[in-house]
Structure 1
Amino acid sequence: MFKLRGHSLSLMSLLNERSNVISVRDQYTQDVLEYNGIHNTVIIGCPSNFINYNRNLGQSIKEKCGALLERDTRYLKHHICEYSQGHINSQEVLLNIARFLSNNISNYIIQSPDLLSFSLNETSTIPDHYQRAFRYRKSILKQKIVHFTNAIGWMEYSRGFDLSWGMRLHGNILPMQANVPALVITHDSRTEGLSDTMGLPNIGIDEFVRYRPKEYPKVILNAISEQIQQYDLKRYGLHCDLVKFIRDSGLEANDDFVGMFND
């Protein structure tokens, strides 16, 4: 655990003084704040977890995984999230993504500005950290890359895929809210904490890099199938906490959202 300092401590102290309760993403964040004397917190994960009001979303995704595993998984369509830098195995993940994109029905969905100019055809140059994986695959990248300027368009687009996977948390949450099986490759405390809090199917990056790209479809679907059963239960608990948080904060909650778990 560590002490907050400077502007971080000032900001959290101000929030503490002016809020009945502060929403936090996961247990680790709550523990850090409590260590620093801030106790009026509630864990809610990310509100994007409730875009889809289907209370049985996890069960629906589990059934979809079962149906996909009965098909020839070589022909599934993959929504692949942009990789994240910063982990010792990040480049290995990117290299295998490049190999996978070259041989499978798939798209590469970017969220950061790194490849935006390339995606918009404003430059033919790719960033240095993409060179190892795509120096000789730039035509593949140009063909596969996609970006969005709003979440609604992204969600609608993701409905056309069989499954989603990658290192981005929200890049997988949005397809999941569109009833697409999704797997987060966790690589830091944020992705680990939020995946655990929200019951999102996940695989650690160190484990993921042990598999070959041709193994990905079955590995991903099996991992989702094994973990998704906890999603609906955790989502119900987070929903109750979020509704209470909204009301305790003096705000008004949408009736459809409030009633999504009602009989």
Structure 2
Amino acid sequence: MSAADATVTNPPDVKTTSLPRILVLSPAGQVYQKDCVRWYEQPREQVISNYFNIGDMVVYDSTLKMLDFAEVRGVVIDKIVEKEIEAYNNGYDYFIIRASNFIHNDMDWLEAISVLERVPLPIYAIGVGAQSSGKGTYKLTGKNLRFWKMVSERSNVIGVRGTYTADVLSASGIKNVEVVGCPSMFRSRRRDLNLKAPTGDLRRVAFSIRREADGTYAADVARYRAIQRDFLLNVAAHFDTTVTIHGEPEEKAFFFQDEQGMNNARQVFRHEGWFSPETEEQMERLYQEHLFFFLKVEEYDQFIRTQDFALGYRVHGVLPALSNGVPGVLVRYDSRSGELADTHAIPSIELKSTDRVDIHDLIRNVDFSEFNRIHRLRYDKMRFVLDYNNMKHRL
């Protein structure tokens, strides 16, 4: 039995009665209306030029949707600020670590360890993940091992996104782990999703792209991009397709219709082969007329509910769609997307070529029976982990 499948049977009694005040390590956006998240206020030029992953914002928003609390406050970890340390020690109840690819040896936690040493509160992680492009057993070392051992010691259990992450922590000597999946799957707080393959007139498809990639995500980046582009064009040829973008500056330049940015982006696209001589006209039309981008997570919820199907390469294009009751298929392209697809039994495909993909058959024949069954189990496991850590929640 792996660390992922170990189950603690009796959660401790919840002793607190008032709603907690929560400290957040590495928040991803500004909180408004208590549990809603939007990106930081920035000039349009900065929003366009800076790469930031919208998925981080979705996870943060989803985490807040699950929890019950009085207040959240971001933690300063780039330096030690005495007034901040004093504030953290004055009436806050615990730290949470936002779910992300935080478990690896290249993670720079800056002064987080020093902050945590001076603020002796519980530390809870829900849905965190490990990622490594190498093979074999991956173990944490140095400051990252020290950080996660501190988290382990100050929580009853660490909630991770899948078995790979659980095995990395287990190999590093951290055993109090449970697989919960990704908070984005639980943002609607619906235990029964009961998704089915679309029937009738299916017209609107949301296709999430991930153009930016390196060796961590794909062994042959040029081929990965070409397959993704051809798959997108295949979908767009058959359905009213909206391309959802998730952080790349070049795509944002098109969304905001920034002329200089679009000219620069075209050069990048041609250099990368994303725009080829045969496909540039089609891709240009999609980019000019069919892009969707959001700076508030609730905007994605509103958009995706207008769609008949979600498809693509972004975990946080497909998972929040499923949570909103919109059927979808995830393209597996790296260890993270594969781990989440396995954890939640999300219908998924791996594309080595697009030559034989019948997009109508793919969508019409997708089977959600295992996903629906597993979702109920994962929902219960997430609720169990929150209870076991004495975290008030709304699941």
With normalisation by structure 2, the TM-score equals 0.56
Partner of 2:384: helix, strand, or coil? helix
What pairs with 1:1-263 in structure 2 (closer than 5 Å)? 1-57=137-193, 59=194, 61-62=195-196, 65=197, 67-68=199-200, 71=201, 76-84=203-211, 85=213, 86-87=217-218, 88=220, 89-91=223-225, 92-101=227-236, 104-114=239-249, 115-122=251-258, 123-125=261-263, 126=265, 127-128=268-269, 129=272, 130-132=274-276, 135-136=280-281, 137-206=283-352, 209-212=354-357, 215-222=358-365, 224-225=366-367, 228-254=368-394, 257=395
Closer/same/farther in 2, CA of residues 140 and 243 from structure 1, 3 Å limit: closer
Alpha-carbon distance between aligned partners in 2 of 1:218 and 1:38, rounded to the nearest angstrom: 44
Closer/same/farther in 2, CA of residues 139 and 232 from structure 1, 3 Å limit: closer
Higher relative contact order (CA 8 A, sep 6+): 1
Q: Following TM superposition, where does structure 1 have runs of at least 4 consecutive aligned residues deviating by more than 4 angstroms?
A: none
Partner of 2:243: helix, strand, or coil? strand
Amino acid at match of 1:250: N
**Which runs of 5 or more residues in structure 1 are unaligned?**
258-263
Greater fraction of residues in helix: 1
Alpha-carbon distance between aligned partners in 1 of 2:372 and 2:234, rounded to the nearest angstrom: 34
The question of whether the paired residues in 2 share the 8 Å contact of 1:156 and 1:178 is answered with no
The question of whether the paired residues in 2 share the 8 Å contact of 1:166 and 1:172 is answered with yes
Closer/same/farther in 2, CA of residues 211 and 220 from structure 1, 3 Å limit: farther
> 1:102 deviation in Å?
5.3
Amino acid at match of 2:363: I
CA deviations on 1:158-217 (whole Å, 9 max, x unpaired) are 1111111001111011222222110000011111111111121111233x63434xx213
The root-mean-square deviation of aligned C-alpha atoms, in Å, is 2.1
Alpha-carbon distance between aligned partners in 1 of 2:354 and 2:234, rounded to the nearest angstrom: 13
Alpha-carbon distance between aligned partners in 1 of 2:191 and 2:150, rounded to the nearest angstrom: 36
Alpha-carbon distance between aligned partners in 2 of 1:155 and 1:211, rounded to the nearest angstrom: 32
Alpha-carbon distance between aligned partners in 1 of 2:307 and 2:182, rounded to the nearest angstrom: 23
The question of whether the paired residues in 1 share the 8 Å contact of 2:254 and 2:287 is answered with no
Moved more, 10-19 or 180-189: 10-19
The question of whether the paired residues in 2 share the 8 Å contact of 1:184 and 1:195 is answered with yes
Percent identical across equivalent pairs? Answer: 20
1:261 corresponds in structure 2 to: none
Partner of 1:131: helix, strand, or coil? coil
Amino acid at match of 1:251: M
Alpha-carbon distance between aligned partners in 1 of 2:306 and 2:233, rounded to the nearest angstrom: 21
Over alpha carbons, which structure has the higher Rg? 2
With normalisation by structure 1, the TM-score equals 0.83
CA deviations on 1:92-135 (whole Å, 9 max, x unpaired) are 11233135435631110001233112211122232333333863
Alpha-carbon distance between aligned partners in 2 of 1:102 and 1:66, rounded to the nearest angstrom: 18
The question of whether the paired residues in 1 share the 8 Å contact of 2:192 and 2:376 is answered with no
Amino acid at match of 2:356: Y
Alpha-carbon distance between aligned partners in 2 of 1:140 and 1:47, rounded to the nearest angstrom: 31
Amino acid at match of 1:243: R
Number of residue pairs aligned between Structure 1 and Structure 2: 240
> 1:80 deviation in Å?
0.4
